[in-house]
Amino acid sequence: MKNNLLILSLLLFLLSSCEGNEDSKQPDFIQFAKKEISLGYKESKDTIEIQTNTSWEIESMPEWLTVSKQKGTQEDTNVILYIQPNRNETVREFDLIFKIKDKKQALHIYQEAKPKPEYTLPRLGFTSLIRLVSGTYSETEPFDLEFESDKLFINSSNKELIFLGSLFVGKLTNYPKLDRVETAGYAYNQLPIIIGNFINFTIEENYTPSYETYQQIEKEGVDNFNSDASFPLRTSDGTYYYSRRHLHCIGLYELGISLEKLLNGKSYKEESMKHEYGLIYPVSNIRFSADMDRPNPPLLTEKLNEDKFVPMNPNYISEIKYGNNTLLLVESDFEKGIVNSIQSKLSKSEQLNAEEVTKAEQMDAYYIYMVSVGEFKVIKGNLIEVINQLKDPKAVKIPIVPVSFSFSDYYNNGVGAVKYKIHVQ
């Protein structure tokens, strides 16, 4: 009897031991150190820290997200998450699903929206006293802007009206084209003009205003000041633009041209920027000017009839500046401070470190300069390629051309001012 009790006790002990072992076996699980990963709108990466006791696999992912590994074992406890920049003004969210056998666990991924840019209307410094009179920029809707200025950029539409004493209608209804004041029956007096700068100048005593006469005087001035001297690159902060449309607007009111078309031959309607923003580095390099002081004797032998001409607001060109206006455009996804720093180092021939070289090679750059009135050339490539070309005097020869003109009011000879409108569809 005692033996039977001992055997029964032993069996019960063994049975309870087996049941205890089954209870101690842990079920398959996977968990994360964080329930959600939140990231900024720029390109970035983060680490997913995993705790698991089994193998795992990640299910499908969106195009803007990649990982260092899509499957692993219980020993694979870290996964690197790579996020592409969010170029939209809406947030991006996704549940990243980790699958283990017959279970699934979600990790929420959240990426901020791209901030809405501040579409300002910057000055490039090529003309003066441009003032916004009315209108508001829109990135999505057609708009009109009206400006007032006492100096204008010279473009191809005005080529034959650009000479000292040239009379034009101050109400610019066809901007950037100038409308000539028709002076049939009126004649110009001979007037003195000055060509040059403070150090080197000549005086033409008997200049009769006309395009043909002025061409010869202009050529002599350009020949006198022409040289192989290079034009400097600007090393200060660049000016933002945020789209091809934004660049088009800036080029139109500052220069009277579709600036974005110079980059790749396409309008803002045909091509979008592939980077987050662009920076403009303008350089205005003036070599000399042609000036007409207050006309004495008067500009014309007989004063223009006020009843007929006052409504036109007649102005005459009193100064023309010569040199070359150049633009370096850099489009990038990196912080502005990084772009400015790299651009400055390259411009000053300073050495870049390996990280800076990698970033500079990812920036699209365009160097725009004038070769004649209203005609431009463009050097393009990554930032390093473009600036290296500019340092080669054999590769880039930048001529002296007429770049801007100032004007005076015909009736009082004071500083003139014109208003003009631009329209962006």
pLDDT of the residue at 159: 87
Is residue 116 included in any domain, yes or no? no
What's the number of CA atoms in the CB half-sphere (13 Å) around residue 274? 5
Six-digit token string for 330: 């850099």
My answer on whether 269 and 341 are in the same domain is yes
Over residues 235-277, the pLDDT tens digits come to 678 899 999 999 999 999 999 999 999 999 999 999 999 999 9
State the SS3 of 172-220. ECCCCCCCECCCCCCCECCEEEEEECCCCEEEEEEECCCHHHHHHHHHH
Is residue 261 included in any domain, yes or no? yes
pLDDT of the residue at 232: 64
pTM: 0.81
My answer on whether 248 and 318 are in the same domain is yes
Q: How many CB atoms lie within 10 A of CB 424?
A: 19
pLDDT of the residue at 366: 97
Over residues 199-237, the pLDDT tens digits come to 889 999 999 999 999 999 999 999 988 876 566 676 678
Over residues 355-376, the pLDDT tens digits come to 999 999 999 999 999 888 888 9
Is residue 363 included in any domain, yes or no? yes
* Average pLDDT score over residue span 71-88: 92
My answer on whether 80 and 191 are in the same domain is no
What's the number of CA atoms in the CB half-sphere (13 Å) around residue 387? 25
My answer on whether 270 and 347 are in the same domain is yes
My answer on whether 156 and 78 are in the same domain is no
pLDDT of the residue at 184: 87
Task: Identify the weakest region by mean pLDDT among 20-29, 85-94, 173-182, 357-366.
Answer: 20-29
* Average pLDDT score over residue span 66-73: 94
My answer on whether 389 and 284 are in the same domain is yes
pLDDT of the residue at 115: 86
Continuous H helices in 65-187? none
Sequence-distant (≥ 6) Cβ neighbours of residue 15 within 8 angstroms: none
Residue that finishes a domain, picked among 67, 82, 111:
111
In whole angstroms, what is the distance from residue 396 CA to residue 378 CA?
Answer: 10
In whole angstroms, what is the distance from residue 44 CA to residue 28 CA?
Answer: 32
In whole angstroms, what is the distance from residue 131 CA to residue 145 CA?
Answer: 10
Over residues 99-124, the pLDDT tens digits come to 998 889 999 999 999 888 889 999 88
pLDDT of the residue at 17: 52
Cα four-point dihedral sign 239, 242, 243, 248? negative
Find the helix packing angle between 383-390 and 336-347, rounded to 10°.
30
Q: Which residue has the higher pLDDT, 11 or 336?
A: 336
Is residue 124 included in any domain, yes or no? no
Work out the mean pLDDT of the chain and round it to a whole number: 90
In whole angstroms, what is the distance from residue 29 CA to residue 425 CA?
Answer: 58
My answer on whether 253 and 354 are in the same domain is yes
In whole angstroms, what is the distance from residue 30 CA to residue 50 CA?
Answer: 7
Residues forming a β-bridge with 36: 108
Sequence-distant (≥ 6) Cβ neighbours of residue 362 within 8 angstroms: 332, 333, 334, 382
For 249, list phi and psi in degrees, rounded to 5: -60, -45
In whole angstroms, what is the distance from residue 120 CA to residue 138 CA?
Answer: 10
Q: Which domain holds residue 83?
A: 30-111
Over residues 150-175, the pLDDT tens digits come to 999 998 888 899 999 999 999 899 99
* Average pLDDT score over residue span 120-136: 86
User: What CATH code is carried by the domain that includes residue 97?
Assistant: 2.60.40.10
Site of tokens 């803007």: 64
For 100-110, letters b (16+ CB in 10 Å) and e give beeeebebebe
Site of tokens 């005087």: 217
Six-digit token string for 131: 């003032």
pLDDT bucket at 284, cuts 50 / 70 / 90: confident
Domains in the chain, number = 2
* Average pLDDT score over residue span 274-302: 93
* Average pLDDT score over residue span 269-298: 93
With 60 as the cut, is the pLDDT of residue 8 above it?
A: no
pLDDT bucket at 125, cuts 50 / 70 / 90: confident
pLDDT of the residue at 60: 86
With 70 as the cut, is the pLDDT of residue 4 above it?
A: no
My answer on whether 322 and 219 are in the same domain is yes
